[in-house]
Structure 1
Amino acid sequence: MASEQRLMVLDSASMYFRAFFGIPEVTADDGTPVNAVRGFLDFISRLVGDYRPSHLICAWDNDWRPQWRVDLIPSYKAHRVVRAMPGPRPDIEEVPDPLEVQIPIILEVLAAAGLCVVGADGYEADDVIGTLATGAPMPVDVVTGDRDLFQLVDDAQDVRVLYIARGVGNHERITDHVVVEKYSVLPSQYADFATMRGDASDGLPGVAGVGEKTASSLLLKYGDLRGIVDAAGDPQSDMSPGPRRRILDAAEYLLVAPTVVAVARDIELAAYDATLPSAPRDPERLDALAERYNLDSPVKRLRAVLAG
């Protein structure tokens, strides 16, 4: 156990997708693919070994495409929907079959190991992460390959992102300074910046004709999106004609997009114990899973790092 209290929050889907696509196919004796399971466990072992957090949470997507976000922007993640479900049930996300069968195994292994999994119905893992990072009584490391979570970075509150876009072994530590260096905006401005820039991978169109450079310059001058919209609507403001027209043309989008892009920070979460265990909660079950799914090596490494 680390002497310093520190919480590590994992963007679980970001990590197991990365493990699935980055690790060659491995199967159990019955042919079940397990490369994502093995990779996810090894990612955890490496991160825990490197950072020695006192607490760890695997944030989970209980709803990867919440209806309240779709109601505001119907295109939100629409290209990822493989099948729309009638009524209040969630849409089905397009996930490769060899990965889909591994997700329940990941959950089984995490439960046997005693690693905390937290999700919230009607919310994405990002919203769980936002709530945990904002309310934690200790420093927080958020592990993700999603730059949208840069909006949570806060040096004053000791919240940083361990950004794994280039791999867990080659991750970046994102602090206030790094966000400013990369994008010329503060982390507190990042959600507004992302709203204007847009994100095709999430089905967010952004403001046509406004890229990162224009978005950052507008935020530098007017402070936040509200200030930018007000300036665009004020004939007496000094906003140049090009950006003014683009902001006004995107008025309907800008009215709703900030709510979609900003992660929730105050959702209600069920009770949980995030204390990092020093040994598996159910060692016999963990051993059985390791034997069944060809996980002996990653489980051995996880046990060793927990005992650390």
Structure 2
Amino acid sequence: MIYNKLLTQPFIHKIVEQDFTESIIIDSLEKCYQTCAFSTFPYIIHNYNSLQAILLTKSGNCISLSLFIKLFLKEHYNIYSYLIPCTIPKKYKHSDYLDICHVALAIPLNKNCVYIVDPAFYFLNPIIVNLSTMSCTTVFSKSIYDREKSSDLKTYSSIDIVESCPKKIEKNTIFNKYQTIGKNTYYANSYFKNDPTDNWCYFLTEIINPDEAITSFFIHIKNNPFITTTYIDKQGVCTSEYFIKLTPGYIEISKDAEDMERINVDEVTKTQINTIDKKIGGFLQDSLSNYINFTNTG
């Protein structure tokens, strides 16, 4: 397993007042879900870093999706933002993950207020960290792999409620020999409302080597390429369209969060390949059949 030291630098002292509304941030999230896909294909097959992945394939991991929003906000609104390191809920952890194994985006409004978006967790609205009041906020997160049967937004069962409260680290916190977060760092302590014991943290410090510190081990653990594409439904909520995963000898397919279908690669028809290529080809740099061959031949 490849682990590298996490490198961070504070940004709170750099903050200048910016002019934007929460609706701009929500629009940028929706743009990400409409335009991009969560995918490990760029890393495993093309050996891209996260910036290359999002620029060349409009896809990638949590770093790439956060970079998309960062670049989008700068280009369209001249808003500055920072990639930040995060932990994750226990239910998503793997025994080989380091404690800090995730990246999100912090968008300062001013020195007292910072917005946080997490596109890889399919946030529908941002966490708002108020450093003056230290008040908690509520965020909605789409459970992307759960099929939504309701057409009424008020009765959606696939939207999780996340509570998030600002806190401050009082002394250097050593998570492991590769990862330390410095004292006086603010963070957003978050948890799903239906499980307050399973918390995770967004640290308000800039991560300056995200691929080296996180992608390096993530890709070795999640080493079978997969992609999740999304669209915005009639209620304005991001929804899973396709989940495709390649493993030696098989392709796993789920459409619209239906039950996963596992097909032997020798039994996949050209029609199936062509249909998928038409739907997700914009996120791939080759045909799905060639990716299948790559996975099975190395």
When normalised by structure 1's length, the TM-score is 0.26
When normalised by structure 2's length, the TM-score is 0.26
Q: Which has the higher contact order (CA 8 A, sep 6+)?
A: 1
State which structure, 1 or 2, has the greater radius of gyration over its C-alpha atoms. 1
Greater strand fraction, Structure 1 or Structure 2: 2
